[in-house]
Amino acid sequence: MAGGLAALLDDVAVLARMAAASTDDIAAAAGRASVKAAGVVVDDTAVTPQYVRDADPSRELPIIRKIAMGSLGNKAVIIVAALLLSQFLPWILTPILMCGGLYLCYEGAEKVWERVSGHHEEAAPVVEKGPDAEKRMVRGAVTTDFILSAEIMVIALNEVADEPFWSRAAILVVVGLLITALVYGVVAVIVKMDDVGLHLAGKDSPRAQRFGLGMVKAMPTVLEVISFVGMLAMLWVGGHILLVGLDELGVTAPYHLVHLLEEPAAAVAGVGTVLGWLVNTGCSLIFGLTVGAVVVAIAHVIPRGHGKRGSDTAGLDGAGSDGAGSGAPTAGATGTGTGTGTADAAGSGRRPEH
């Protein structure tokens, strides 16, 4: 009896060690997958604070909590769909991933164009007053998060595609929880930083006052740095996804060229690993910017030029035909701005400033 109990305890110990090792493997794989999704994560962190701009300070954290819960729901749906695709249609993951990479390149290149051209449209207030407006804003933010979450989870899945089914499932769950907590935790800190700074500025201590005012003044710079890093990360990750995807589809020349440039840098003693990574990242960024610039030109510059001329002509005809009639188009335009501006900024419109 004692021998049987000892054998059972040994079996339990072996199983516990196997479970611990499996947990370590899942954690390590989840960490690697999360790093690959860095571009989308940084971008998500930079964008989300805009959804609570102009909101009542007492509603900022509840709004972020609602968006975070919606994000978890998005990731749950995406994980199930991604696992089924990886199990039964694994070949489709590369095209889906490349579509996400193309989108990242487009987003990054559009941000570059705005910085170079100095063209920034003024954003409409994201949050109106009242519970109905808050519900619309949260719903729109969760819809936008679905796109970001899909990119994150597909990137993560691609990194662990060789793992067994249940390991892939566990890794994706860990990645989803980790990234959601990271993004919305950082967002909560960012949006409350002004309040903390103002609270400290009202203290009697001159040191606390200076520190509080410094926090308030630093917030625009912090958001700008996050936005800039997010822009570079999107171009890097998007370009790398496209290079690897093309290589897997048989178009090997672009990524082969990157490897040729990377090898001499990687051979430098002591710092070769870092230099090789920098070369690979720089090439991926340039490739992503090039592809993204083409997409921006096709999607925005060319159509916008023709559309604007047509709109201007229509507007002149309407104004010239009847002075009294021009008031109706003006009212209609105003109604459109107030009726859909919030939905565009907080909903399907990925960036309020576009």
pLDDT score at 313: 42
Q: Of 135-149, 172-186, 302-316, where does the model show the most confidence? A: 172-186
Structure tokens at 287: 């490739």
Q: Mutual orientation of helices 38-47 and 2-36 as an angle, nearest 10°?
A: 70
pLDDT score at 257: 94
Cβ-Cβ contacts under 8 Å for 112 (sequence gap 6 or more): 231, 235, 289, 292, 293
Angle (nearest 5°) at CA 129 between 128 and 135: 75
Print the SS3 string covering 250-299: CCCHHHHHHHHHHHHHHCCCCCHHHHHHHHHHHHHHHHHHHHHHHHHHHH
Structure tokens at 152: 């994150």
pLDDT band for position 162 (cuts 50, 70, 90): confident
- pTM of this structure: 0.64
Write down how long the chain is.
354
pLDDT in tens, 186-241: 888 888 887 888 888 888 888 888 888 888 888 888 878 877 887 888 888 889 88
Residue with tokens 């990731």: 75
pLDDT in tens, 77-130: 999 998 898 888 888 888 888 888 898 899 889 889 888 887 665 444 444 556
22 pLDDT above the threshold of 50: no
Q: Of 220-229, 276-285, 298-307, where does the model show the most confidence? A: 276-285
333 pLDDT above the threshold of 70: no
Terminal alpha carbon distance of the chain: 75
| Residue scoring higher pLDDT (137 or 352) | 137
Residue with tokens 């994560």: 41
Instruction: Compute the distance between CA of residue 35 and CA of residue 38 in angstroms, rounded to an integer.
Output: 5
pLDDT band for position 24 (cuts 50, 70, 90): low
Percent of the chain with pLDDT over 90: 13
Instruction: Compute the distance between CA of residue 165 and CA of residue 176 in angstroms, rounded to an integer.
Output: 16
Instruction: Compute the distance between CA of residue 89 and CA of residue 84 in angstroms, rounded to an integer.
Output: 8
Instruction: Compute the distance between CA of residue 195 and CA of residue 37 in angstroms, rounded to an integer.
Output: 31
Comparing CA positions, the residue from 44, 55, 127 lying closest to residue 341 is 127
Residue with tokens 């009212």: 331
Minimum mean pLDDT range among 30-39, 112-121, 206-215, 293-302? 30-39
Alpha helices in the chain (DSSP H): 2-36, 38-47, 57-88, 93-117, 131-159, 165-201, 206-248, 253-266, 272-296, 302-321, 327-346
pLDDT score at 60: 80
CA distances from 204 to 137, 196, 209 (A): 38, 15, 7
| Residue scoring higher pLDDT (29 or 323) | 29
pLDDT in tens, 226-257: 778 878 888 888 898 899 899 989 999 999 99
